[in-house]
Each structure stands twice: as C-alpha cells, then as structure tokens.
Structure 1
C-alpha cells in the first residue's frame, strides 16, 4: 500500500504517458540492435528504476503512528501544513519535540514548504499525507491509522474577494471539511483540537478595539463559513464532555521563519489576492509593476485603512501555548 500511495502521489497521467512513450522508443531501438531476451530484461530493469524513483521522491509514502521525543510530548496532526501558517507551526512543533503528521492536498499550499519541514525533522518524527479533507473516508482512515493526540486544523481557502465570487466553494472547503475533521476525530477518539479561525468573523465592529466579547457579524462568505465551522466545534464539544478545543481568531499574519527556512509562497495565480506584506516584496523585486493600495474612504489622513498585523512566529507561539491547555467548552481567542 505504501508503494501504491507513493506512485499515486508521484505520477500524473501525463507523466505516465511520457514515461511509457520513452519505454516504447527504447524497446524499438533495442529490438534493432539486440536479441529479444535482452529487450525483455532491459524493460524489466527500466520499470524497476522508475518504481524506485517514484517511491524515493514522493512526499507521501504511507502513514501510521509516530513516536514523539518523550511521554511529555504529543503526536500532532496538522491540516493545511503546506500553507503559510501551517508550515511554520509544523516546524515549531517538531523543534519542540513533538511528532507531526501533516495533511494537505496542495490546492493552495506549497510543496517546497513541506520539503523544508521534512528536512528539519528527526527520523521517525514526521510524515506527510497528501489527502483532500473533502473525502471523508480517506480522512477517517488517516485519523484511525495515525493515533494522534492533538489536531491543529489550518486547512482552508482564505481570500475574502474569492469567497464573494464563489461562496459555495468556501462553505464546502471550510465548514463542510471541518465537519469531516471533527467526525473523523470522533471515530478515532481524538479529543483535542485547535481550530484556526479569523477576524473576519467580527465583520465591521462599531466599537474598537475588538475583543473576544465583540459580536460576531461577518459580512462575507469567508467569515460566515469560518463562524459556522467554529459552531461545529462548539456543538460537538457540548455533546462530548471529554472533548477539549481552542478557537483562535487571527488578524493579518505576515513574516517568515527567522532562520530563512520558510516564508510566504502563494501560488502564482493567487499572488494578486495575497497579503500586503507579500505584495510589497513583489513590487520591490519587480514581480509586479506597482503596489496598489485599496480603499480611500477610511477615516484616516489619506483615506487608506489601518490594519492590525501579527508576525507568524508570534502566532505559532500562541498555538504552542494553547496546545497544552485546550478547554471545554472552547472559548474564542483573538490574536492581533
């Protein structure tokens, strides 16, 4: 099964077709220059080489229980680990001695981020599973096989403008997939969860600063989907006294790993919807012609908005702190 998963993760149909054409060309060339048994042996050897290459180069090559560095540490499952925040959190958890199982489908994440995390991991402390949280039976299998102690659920699409253009995608990816995660946790008897939410759940509050007591009145599908997912977590906690969770609502996250191992690497087609920090660097490096500042109607000197920012390493610190102290029922925490 590990080999099957490896091949599935490594080879696309296009790659397989290309490899097959290369093999056919090699066979035809060999038939002209040598006996048939030589061709058969050569074909078998070529197949073996291709299979070994696929198995050794895939990020996802099977999964199972992992052992943390000591009984005081945990086996943590991180969803969305190929993303900006998820990759930084995975790296920190590994550095702190925890074992980490990462799950991502690369619909928005970056394979380079997973490779960087894997490179920093000690043997037997890290595994990556390429999977889609929208496929429940696959998610359930992962949870039952890995025997994790804690889930940190980052995986989500996260662009306000896109959510308004395609709200169904956001409710499916955020709310429905969170149902799958919680349901799989229930099936595997995993009792601790940290849920990654957003300040978009507050909408446009009338009173500042925002606190955890500020009313949640989201104004776009992204914020509404996140708030609905929060409610899934709370309702499940209310029905299960042994379940402990934390809900963290972030404001604008920026920055990178101080050692330079990780950063923010959005997919090219999504760069225009990325964070202001990334847009500034893109403009400075010449990837885009200019930096566009949105909004002129705000009550500031030049009409542009003032936003709160939190560095990704500070945000990860909050997750690590909360990881040891989830609660029942899970209260929201605003991080800015």
Structure 2
C-alpha cells in the first residue's frame, strides 16, 4: 500500500460527527481512529467539503436518517475534494498524490474518507480534479452539479425553450441556469428582489418569487414558457401549470407532485460530473462560493447553508486554503 503525507497524528484523525439527531447543535468535530484503505479502496486526505441541504436534512431526525441508511453515531456531509494519500491493493486508475473530488454519503467532513475505487455514493465516488479547478470549487460540484444535470436531462432543453427555474440562485440553481443557457434555452429565474443582479450574472432573467409569480412572468413578455424546474419545493410546479407548461416538461428535485418528474443526482449520466468539471476548468461554467469556514466552525457553516438564502455554495475547509 502506498502512502502520502496525511496529517494523521499518532493514528488519530478528525471527523465531524453526529451523536444525536438534530440541527447544527448536534454537530461536533471529534478525534477518531485513523481510517485505512483496504483492498480495492483509496483514501483521500480531504482539503475541502461542500455543503448541501441534504446533509442536514438526512441527520435531522431518526426516521429520515433511517431512510438513508444512517445510524448513530454518524458522520456528516457528502461532497468533498482532496488528494489521494493511500491506494489499496488491486486498485487501478488512482495514484498517491492524485487530486480528486466526489461524494461520500454523510461522512465527507473529515480529515480522511475511504472510498471504493469502483464505488457509488454510499461507498464513495472519486473523480479526478482537472487542472485549473481549485479544491473549494471541486468540493462544490458533486451533489448540486449531478442534480442539475439529471433534472435538465429530464427536460431536454434546446434553443426553442423558455424555462422557468424556481430557486435559481441556490446551489443547484447555479448549475441549472448556466447549463440551460449552454443548451440554448432562455431562462427565467425566481429569487428575492435583492438577488436580481446575481441571477442576471448567471444568465437568467430574474423575477421575484411568491404570490403573483405567474403574472410577473407574463409581464416579462417572454412568450410561452415551455419547461419548468422547481429547485425548492412545489410552488413553481403550480405556477408552471398555470402558465400552460405540460407536466411532462416540469421537473422537481425537492418535492413530489403527481404526474411530474422528480430527479436527483443518482439519475445523472455517468459522465455528467466529468463534463461539468471540464466546463469549470475551461472557464465556461462559474461556481460562486458564497462563504467558506474552517472545519472548527462547522455549526456556523451549516446554519448559514440551512437558512437557504445563500447565493452559491458554502464550503468547509479541512486544510487552510489560499
């Protein structure tokens, strides 16, 4: 087994742990035994971990945690970026020192994560980080990027489309708006009035959410809205129906509506994240980092992310970043 300088202290590593289900107050940074990569596995020295709504949603209560296969004590966070520092026997395609990013379900906010080299989100997934993509940005890609890609696959947008994106300024919206524009679609993005310039910077035509949304969309003079993506709940679904969008061209990610498609990151194509990472490296897709926190401030980071008013992504640093 190869090994890389990994900041292990006498066989002890650090991880954010959940000892009881609940909110940010349940999170604690603890010393844990150093994990080791076994046969067919790699270990990653995590440098940064990106936060997503699913992170705190999964650990909020016992019933939800059980649906995701979690039990106490549990880890926290899913998106990560870092450097491979151990490679187990039988592994090909990874070497010590490789920069990688990916997902490790509810255990990414830790000094180290151990992943199956040919794994899934539960056992861990690693993608090579392209040159030109820093670790904070790479740590923000996996869940939001794959979710946006899966949802847009459902909608099949093209140059003749006008798509209404509800919650366009959030973590998934950052990707969905830009990818929809790359497909040639016109994008109307809902958000607060204060987010209008931010949404324009992503390529969306901003419109304030809330009561009267359908009338405000019509007032933009955009013609027929042909597709809709609800990134927050189900309110945008109902407005899309009022605007005449057929159910077959509406998609949700955080709510269930009879007759309407629901998508999540697990539905994304196998090359979706590599494609997104290449777009970032080429400067064609922007990933705004709204805030970063040292891992010691994990509770404050989660409180900010859970408020759902962040423009872009929140990232936790396991290693100080430039």
Same fold (TM > 0.5)? no
The one of the two structures with greater contact order (alpha-carbon pairs below 8 A, sep at least 6) is 2
Q: Point out the structure with max Rg over C-alpha.
A: 1
The answer to which structure has the higher helix fraction is: 1
Richer in strand (by share) = 2
